[in-house]
Amino acid sequence: MPVPLRSMALAALFTATGAIAAGLYLNNQQPAGKSAPAPEIWVLPPAQAASTPSTSNANSMPTLAPMLGKVTPSVVNIYTKQRVKVNNPLAEFFGGGRIPQERIAQSLGSGVIVDAARGLILTNNHVVEGADEVSVSLSDGRTFEAQPVGSDPDTDIAVIRIAATGLQALPVADSSKLRVGDYVVAVGNPFGLGQTVTSGIVSAVGRSGLQGLGYQNFIQTDASINPGNSGGALVNLHGELVGINVASFNPRGSAAGNIGLGFAIPSNLAKEIMRQLMAYGEVRRGSLGIEAETAQTQSEPATKGAWVSRVYRGSPAEAAGIKPGDVIVAANGQRIDSADALSNLEGLLPLGVPVRLEIVRGSQRMNISAQLRAQPKEQDAGQLDPRLAGAVLIDLPERYKQTGMRGVIVNKVTAGSRAARNGLEVGDRILVVNRQAVNDLNALRARLSQNAARLELGLARGRQSGYLEMR
């Protein structure tokens, strides 16, 4: 059963004018991101394992202190400031009108040094997103201003950089080798208390289905993860990074404290996201080129999968022989029990890697190999229909799709353009084209390819919705 949205809190801690919130909930509006950095080719250095902690002599008590002595210098505290405008109700009451005032919203989290020579730090996107100022405090007491390198909201990974010497990077382990039951240690800055260490075991791997957290392949642990731990390190007993801590769960909300359900982004995924951010300035994802719905197969009612409702012309799915009506039940040996599970897997796979699909077609089971193809993140709407000229469209971020939200976002509208004259505005969410629902850009392209004489868009604008005829 999906986790209720209100129950999942990111493990960052936010303050505003001295007030501390229990956690950042995923249905909060996301602040605008910053411009993409210049591409830079970068390769993560391989892990060089430290020795497994042990007792120094027969009379000593077991301790993790020697291992942690090597780990903690690599884990940093991150502090951010963001200028926000709020209305002063007293000024409005006394006739001063709605006069916005500027306040400083502060937040804190954690990060991990992974490249000492370049001062590169891995953290969570939600720790630094929208921040006007980011400062990093090291374990030796030094503090530095940090600069953004790149971020990926849909995996909640960000990379920042500090100009500092004498840094110590944390070796990165192969997280695919983690097993349920392996001991792990979480290091971070919970509640702004300063560097804190908690321990536990790996409770599950490959965890997904948590609403509002984008593409998911989480490590679940019972090591205590609290607000402020976001972006901190999850390490094995060799002192190697196996995950980036991201969230905790409590049915009563984050204010109720930790109950042993914490989640971390696997180091392999974080490493790949970082590689792409450094190489391209963005994360490049691909798609099979299908529309799918969650369904049970008619031939095997107990088997769930992603039912293919449409295959786009010229898509990787068409080239692989996938047909409408097929049910995808597994990909690369991983069970696919819903359309969201298939979308999640697409978002996590690197481009150019073949995907082995298990498909149910009628009463037959078959294996098909396909290769994901990159899809543009933006679409010049005028190329799809001249009545939309001047508008630029983007897909919804995956973290919003995980909440059940659907549609296509109007990201830009050129002043005086045909789209502007027709009434389109930045922030509009297109839900319907000529009475046909559109869930994403691919579906919108398909609907507009019909070249209908009349073009009517169903929109959501803030809390309002309605139809707009494009002329």
- 186-202 pLDDT, tens digit per residue, is 999 888 788 889 999 99
Q: What pLDDT was estimated at residue 202?
A: 95
Instruction: List for the chain the helix, strand, coil content (%; round to 5).
Output: 15, 40, 45
Q: How far is CA 137 from CA 67, 143, 145, 234, in A?
A: 21, 4, 9, 19
Q: Which residues of 243-282 are buried (b: 16+ CB within 10 A; e: fewer)?
A: bbbbbbbbeeebeeebeebbbbbbbbbbbbbbbbbbeeee
Burial category of 300 from C-beta neighbours within 10 Å (exposed 0-12, middle 13-18, buried 19 and up): middle
Q: What pLDDT was estimated at residue 238?
A: 94
Is residue 393 within 8 A of residue 409, CB to CB? The reply is: yes
**Nearest 5 degrees, angle CA 154-CA 12-CA 66?**
105
User: From the candidates 230, 267, 338, 343, which is the catalytic residue?
Assistant: 230
If you ran DSSP here, which 8-state letter would residue 292 be given?
E
Helix (H) or strand (E) holding 279: helix 267-280
Q: What does the alpha-carbon distance between residue 261 and residue 9 come to, in Å, rounded to a whole number?
A: 11
Mean pLDDT of 246-266: 72
For the domain spanning 5-47+72-279, the CATH number is 2.40.10.120
Q: What pLDDT was estimated at residue 13?
A: 54
Least confident of 99-108, 135-144, 266-275, 430-439: 99-108
Q: What does the alpha-carbon distance between residue 132 and residue 230 come to, in Å, rounded to a whole number?
A: 19
For the domain spanning 286-374, the CATH number is 2.30.42.10
Q: Is the dihedral of CA 242, 246, 250, 255 positive or negative?
A: positive
Mean pLDDT of 303-327: 89
Q: What does the alpha-carbon distance between residue 122 and residue 71 come to, in Å, rounded to a whole number?
A: 15
Q: Which of 390, 444, 386 is nearest to 413 (CA)?
A: 390
At the top level of CATH, the class of 378-470 is mainly beta
Q: How many other C-beta atoms can be found within 10 angstroms of the C-beta atom of residue 404?
A: 11
User: From the candidates 115, 156, 326, 340, which is the catalytic residue?
Assistant: 156
Q: What does the pLDDT look like over 344-358, one tens digit per residue?
A: 888 888 787 789 999
Q: What does the alpha-carbon distance between residue 229 and residue 5 come to, in Å, rounded to a whole number?
A: 20
Using the predicted structure, report yes or no on whether residue 308 has a pLDDT greater than 80.
yes
Q: What does the alpha-carbon distance between residue 408 and residue 443 come to, in Å, rounded to a whole number?
A: 9
User: From the candidates 126, 224, 340, 343, which is the catalytic residue?
Assistant: 126
Using the predicted structure, report yes or no on whether residue 7 has a pLDDT greater than 70.
no
Q: What pLDDT was estimated at residue 263?
A: 92
Max avg pLDDT among 18-27, 224-233, 349-358, 406-415: 406-415
Q: What pLDDT was estimated at residue 21?
A: 31
Q: What pLDDT was estimated at residue 315?
A: 86
pLDDT band of residue 163 (cuts 50, 70, 90) is very high
Mean pLDDT of 312-333: 90
Over pLDDT 90: what percentage of the chain?
Answer: 46
Strands (E) across 138-289 are located at 143-145, 147-152, 157-161, 183-188, 196-207, 218-221, 233-235, 241-249, 262-266, 286-287
pLDDT band of residue 330 (cuts 50, 70, 90) is very high
Is residue 131 within 8 A of residue 80, CB to CB? The reply is: yes
Least confident of 92-101, 109-118, 215-224, 234-243: 92-101
Using the predicted structure, report yes or no on whether residue 278 has a pLDDT greater than 80.
yes
Q: How far is CA 115 from CA 136, 163, 164, 221, 288, in A?
A: 15, 12, 11, 26, 35
Mean pLDDT of 47-74: 72
392 or 38, higher pLDDT: 392
Using the predicted structure, report yes or no on whether residue 130 has a pLDDT greater than 90.
no
Q: What does the alpha-carbon distance between residue 208 and residue 94 come to, in Å, rounded to a whole number?
A: 51
Largest distance between two CA atoms of the chain: 86
Q: What pLDDT was estimated at residue 334?
A: 86
CATH 2.30.42.10-classified regions of the chain: 286-374, 378-470
**Known catalytic residue: 315?**
no
**Known catalytic residue: 238?**
no
How much is the mean pLDDT over the chain? 81
Using the predicted structure, report yes or no on whether residue 383 has a pLDDT greater than 60.
yes
Q: Is the dihedral of CA 30, 79, 34, 213 positive or negative?
A: negative
CATH 2.40.10.120-classified regions of the chain: 5-47+72-279
DSSP assignments along 101-162, one per residue: EEEEEEEEEEEEEEETTTTEEEE-HHHHTT-SEEEEE-TTS-EEE-EEEEEETTTTEEEEE-
Length of the chain: 471
Q: What pLDDT was estimated at residue 247?
A: 79
Q: In a 3-state reduction of DSSP, which class is residue 204? A: strand
Mean pLDDT of 219-223: 93
Is residue 234 within 8 A of residue 218, CB to CB? The reply is: no
Using the predicted structure, report yes or no on whether residue 112 has a pLDDT greater than 80.
yes
